[in-house]
């Protein structure tokens, strides 16, 4: 979600919240099924599936559940007719928001997404209204390690950029098509990867004050509560000072 830590940290996810466990698992299974249907069941040959498996494992989904979802995707059936849909809009404070959905019914999905914007003082835009502000990238997160060795491994594997965060963690950016190769190279160099995913990185950010920041967070939460929504990307930035007031 983020080009640097301040707005990486405000990508709100509920995977760790017990009350949201069932909803999160439903979304993860939907992505597993779709990824397997579109690219096959071999995680080594299907980067999207491998990313989905990584997310599922990090959310404590069992291997058995993951494998069943993959088998459903490979086998086809009525429950695999999902399509990725991207909705663009404007959030509080003039922030740009992109909503990635997996859906088999566009009318149902838009009826979930549009009211979320309206209730938070934003509005749903047309295709291309904010998409030009984002770039599709691969993002790899590593909690700790030797900076020089990691930088060398990342560059040799084809990474575009590596950024050191204040807490000593690392964010590694790649062309989205190269995510799998870079991840493999870093793992082979002995580093533990916390997560690796394709994401949307904004070219510019909008700094939010203490009044506007909670409104954006409310919008993100409302969108992520929608069954069809898989990911929410935005260009809002909350400073440490404002975050301390929330």
Average pLDDT on 117-144 reads 93
Interval 155-165 mean pLDDT? 93
pLDDT, one tens digit per residue, over 12-22 is 444 444 546 67
Q: Is the per-residue pLDDT at 191 higher than 90?
A: yes
CA distance 32 to 27: 9
Question: What domains can you pick out in the chain, each with its CATH number?
Answer: 5-80 (1.10.10.200), 83-132+205-243 (3.30.70.980), 133-202 (3.30.70.980)
Asked whether the beta carbons of 197 and 186 are under 8 A apart, the reply is no
pLDDT at 80: 58
Integer CA distances (angstroms), 213 to 10, 130, 242, in order: 10, 19, 8
- Please state the rounded mean pLDDT for residues 211-238: 92
- What's the pTM? 0.80
What percentage of the chain exceeds 90 in pLDDT?
A: 57
∠ CA 10-16-22, rounded to 5°: 120
Q: What is the percent of the chain with per-residue pLDDT over 70, rounded to a whole number?
A: 90
pLDDT at 159 over 50: yes
pLDDT band at 244 (very low <50, low <70, confident <90, very high): confident
From CA 228, how far away is CA 110, in angstroms rounded?
A: 9
Question: Does 4 score more than 70 pLDDT?
Answer: no
Distances in Å between the alpha carbon of 166 and those of 23, 163, 169, 193? 32, 10, 7, 18
**What does the DSSP 8-state code read for residue 20?**
G
């Amino acid at each position: 979600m983020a080009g640097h830590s301040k707005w990486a940290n405000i990508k709100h996810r509920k995977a760790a919240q017990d009350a949201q466990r069932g909803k999160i698992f439903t979304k993860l299974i939907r992505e597993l099924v779709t990824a397997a249907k579109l690219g096959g069941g071999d995680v080594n040959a299907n980067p999207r599936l491998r990313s989905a498996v990584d997310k599922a494992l990090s959310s404590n989904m069992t291997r058995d559940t993951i494998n069943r979802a993959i088998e459903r995707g490979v086998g086809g059936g009525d429950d695999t007719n999902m399509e990725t849909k991207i909705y663009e809009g404007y959030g509080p404070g003039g922030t740009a928001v992109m909503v990635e959905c997996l859906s088999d019914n566009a009318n149902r999905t838009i009826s979930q997404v549009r009211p979320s914007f309206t209730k938070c003082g934003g509005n749903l835009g047309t295709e291309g209204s904010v998409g030009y502000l984002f770039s599709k990238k691969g993002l790899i997160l590593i909690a700790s390690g030797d900076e020089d060795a990691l930088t060398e491994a990342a560059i040799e594997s084809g990474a575009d950029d590596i950024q050191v965060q204040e807490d000593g963690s690392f964010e590694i950016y790649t062309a989205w098509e190269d995510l799998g190769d870079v991840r493999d190279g870093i793992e082979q160099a002995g580093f533990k990867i916390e997560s690796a995913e394709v994401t949307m990185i904004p070219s510019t950010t909008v700094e939010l004050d203490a009044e506007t920041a909670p409104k954006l967070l409310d919008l993100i939460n409302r969108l992520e509560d929608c069954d069809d929504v898989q990911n929410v990307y935005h260009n809002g930035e909350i400073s440490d000072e404002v975050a301390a007031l929330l």
